[in-house]
Homo-oligomer: A and B are copies of this chain.
Amino acid sequence: MPRPRIVMSMDEAVAGFADNSSLMIPGFGPGQPTNLLAALWRTPATGLTTISNGVGFESADEDLKGLGDLVMAGRVTKVIAAFTASTRPSRTGTAEALVANGTLKAELVPQGTLAERIRSGGAGVPAFYTPAGVGTETATGKEHREFGGRTFVMETALFADYAFIRAWKADTAGNLVFRRAARNFNPIMATAARNVIVEVEQPIVEAGEIDPDQVHVPGIYVTTLVRIPVGGVLHINRASGMAVRQTA
């Protein structure tokens, strides 16, 4: 693969996103590709299958439109997640009604199984065994097997058409570095998709400026890099709920 293309806007980064594509969306609190998701919201893309930790909620802020909004707008066909519905009765309603009336499919997956299925997709491993979920509804219909006297279920790999990634640093070769807990699903999702589009917090540096020992995702996986522009969303202030924006 040649070096990743570097584009100047989020809209350019997601241009040509095909209908009926599958999309990996990282984030567990921090580490969400907020700006790419808002740009995807502005395209007409529909019929998505998404792979993410949770489904989330709708946002009134156009710059914070994300998976919850796409789901509620009927643009998502299937969600694969560790949280497909709120556990709080008071917040029930996000995706449940759509699932109930058949317009949305859901696949609920234990979080570690979800992570390992993604990692396996990036590893060319079609299936593996895990103890998670044995003896519960989530193992229903799955193949069970004993190893060393303990029961495991077989789980299969996930691989997507697209991954949207949020990185802290990147170089022109596409090498990525993440910061603290913003790492979460990013490195594994970056290996498990055909098109890997990355929004970057810091200025993109020349190849060679990141120590090869400190790279979290090798650049060979990366298709497109875009720096978060001035005014773009860096993160959400948890106290105020307001977006904290890129200033320079």
Contacts and interface: CB of A to CB of B under 8 A. Distances in A.
A213 B147 contact: no
A130 interface: yes
Q: Chain A interface mostly helix, strand, loop or mixed?
A: mixed
B128 A178 contact: no
A126 B126 contact: no
Contacts of A150: 126
A128 B131 contact: no
A147 B127 contact: yes
A127 B126 contact: no
A91 interface: no
A129 B130 contact: no
Interface string A122-141: 01111111110000000000
A237 interface: no
B131 A129 contact: no
Contacts of A127: 128-129, 145, 147, 152
Contacts of A131: 124
A192 interface: no
Interface of A: 116, 120, 123-131, 145, 147-148, 150, 152, 156, 177-180, 183, 212-214
13 contacts: A116-B125, A120-B128, A124-B130, A125-B128, A125-B129, A125-B130, A126-B148, A126-B150, A127-B145, A127-B152, A128-B128, A128-B129, A147-B156
Given A125-B128, A128-B129, 15 more contacts: A116-B125, A120-B128, A124-B130, A125-B130, A126-B147, A126-B150, A126-B152, A127-B129, A127-B145, A127-B152, A128-B128, A147-B156, A178-B213, A180-B213, A214-B214
